[in-house]
Structure 1
Amino acid sequence: MKELVKDQTFATHMVAGTWSVALGTALTYPLDTLKVLLQVSSGANTQPTTVQVLLKAHTLSGYSGFYNGLGWLAVGRTLGVGTRFGIYELLTSFYKDGREDNYVYVAEALMAGIVAGAVESFVTSPFELIKLRSQVNSAYRCRDPALDIKRDAVSPLIGRLLRGYTPNMKALNNSVGLLSVLAKKHPNLGNAMKEYPWMMSGYGKAPSICHVRRPSDVISLEGWGALWRGVRSGITRDSVFGGIFFSIWQVLHETMLDWKAVKMTPIPRFDEDVGPLSPLAVSLAAGFSGSVAAAASHSFDTAKCRDQCNVVPKHVSTEKKFFKLGLPGNTFERWFGIHPADRKILYRGIWFRMARSGVASFVLVGSYFLTIDQLFS
């Protein structure tokens, strides 16, 4: 350990990895923004085209709007990718322990990738939520909820507990009318009911995500649990992505090693004797693996993105838990967090996500090897 710290090997790899992730994220971020806008703006009856979404975002926010939330995703992906590869290497080291050759079977790479992806999803979920709401804000402009609050004369208590929440005054007045048969001990029953937000549960209109996109706003209105909204579909997405990515990459890696070993005389017995592969070939293998993994997991990505766009105040979430309101859909959809209304749009933006994942994986691996080569040389 002392020698590792002395020659700064760990620090060198950490710097190279951080730089590679940041570069890949920055280069492909506009593709991610277009993908998200296509996913969240689509419905069962309305599915805008890529050109329409592109023009709308450019008109409202300009070219800089395509980079809204880049900082949040860069931090999240740095932590997430580090977690993914770290757990994968840790698990595969147990698989290889005691073997004469440091060989990992495809099934082992698949299982290690699934576990690594699940942990990565839990780490990156809060950053993805803030990033996604910043991206949506680049293409949508919402009315300031403060105007509605002032118009409806919401009490200071509701303003503190439910920031940005707009109650439906018609529903409130109807509720007061239903209670008119009771003895009015309070001089103003309507204003008294305004002091209790739970009396208006289910009737108020939650603010748009355009006004609930900062971490403080999300925590204040929706609670800490909102940072991990869509955790079912998110864990499934990243588990599928990680398992397919590492298994395909392992197959391509072994294929390239065998191809190189055939041309050597004598043929090496172990993979370690073959020598390092070309950084370009490894980068291309990573890019291809990332594209295929993105295509396989895209439906769960759409479900997670659309779930994160919902603003659910804390008291509404508490009511759903209290009344044990289950998730809609069939058993598969409930298990993996897919809303039945999204069945027809689960593959919206798939080409943008395949391109983003492929290019990002290629740039990540290629820039990592290039950085390591320059730092150690």
Structure 2
Amino acid sequence: MIKFLEIQKITQKYSDEIHRAATRVIDSGWYLLGEETKRFEKNYARFIGTNHCIGVANGLDALRIILKANMELGIMQEGDEVIVPANTFIASILAITDNRLVPVLVEPDIHTYQIDDTKIEEAISPKTKAVMIVHLYGQCAYTDKIGEICKKHNLKLIEDNAQATGCKFNGKITGSLGDASGHSFYPGKNLGAFGDGGAITTNDPILAETAKTLANYGSNVKYVFDYQGLNSRLDEIQAAILDVKLSHLNEDNERRKEVARYYLEHITNPEVILPEVNDWNAHVFHLFVIRSAHRNELLQYLNDNGVQALIHYPVAPHKQKAYKEWNDLTLPVTEKIHNEVLSLPISQVITDEEAETIVKTVNSFRANDLKGQK
């Protein structure tokens, strides 16, 4: 079986460096808010191209804290609206509702799967305070039009950069395009920790200081609490490991692109819709997502023939029980995407032979043949 993602193989690539980093932390006796975290924050801010980086516990917390910081600073208040793509992973929306803000769902572009920038302006109301773009699957969601809309309507632009570390827009790295960005270092990400981890990047020094304080119980001085904060901190071992992997990220992303190019050039099955790539700098292929009207049959066929494929994500946020008040909404583009998408294995450790096998298996699928076998 070709696994969807082999994290052990990714770890083995840099095993010696990782072991040295982890041992250094263990021997130091200092496991939170120490020099390793400071070093990673500095290096990650430099990589992203922002003045500030705050390590936090996970990607969801990164987004929660960005919004909470804006509320503490009086920029937003309960009941204000945040525009967000309807087809995102639920964490983007959870961050909004957790702060008692109101998500306004906007349909994506069927070709890019990113928020449709032609539909954003019509969703703006007097209560709108921000647009949250999600660089879904590793592809840049930002457009000049989105930037212009935010400037015109005085809206904060927040990036959910959980899936796109290293992706670029006109030479700038995602995570540096808006007012603030949330990042995830979940183990399966392009830059993955050995557990949960996240970060906030921004060029706003006041927002950065507020976010840093909120992430540490609301305290900037020990036992003095300015806000009702959270306990959301990136630990020293995760920071040290991430710093090792960060030094190899561009190389890893390039390998992902090589695999993606091979898929795009060699998958010829007419029952499969391939992703569209207009700018190879604007995609780091956290996921390689295809679509098929026979998605479920294709998934079963791949799994039966030794290729582990996954669905990201089978149920749209507005159809989840967690948001039952939205269950009657009809969002046809979002629903079509969630009903048809399928993720093929892709990573920096996929071999050429594995990629060839995956392509051959996808190309050999025929839905009608399967129906005839029943």
Larger relative contact order (CA 8 Å, sep ≥ 6): 1
* Structure holding more helix per residue: 1
If the TM-score is normalised by the length of the shorter chain, which range does it land in? under 0.3
Larger Rg: 1
Scaled by the length of structure 1, what TM-score is found? 0.21
Scaled by the length of structure 2, what TM-score is found? 0.22
* Structure holding more strand per residue: 2
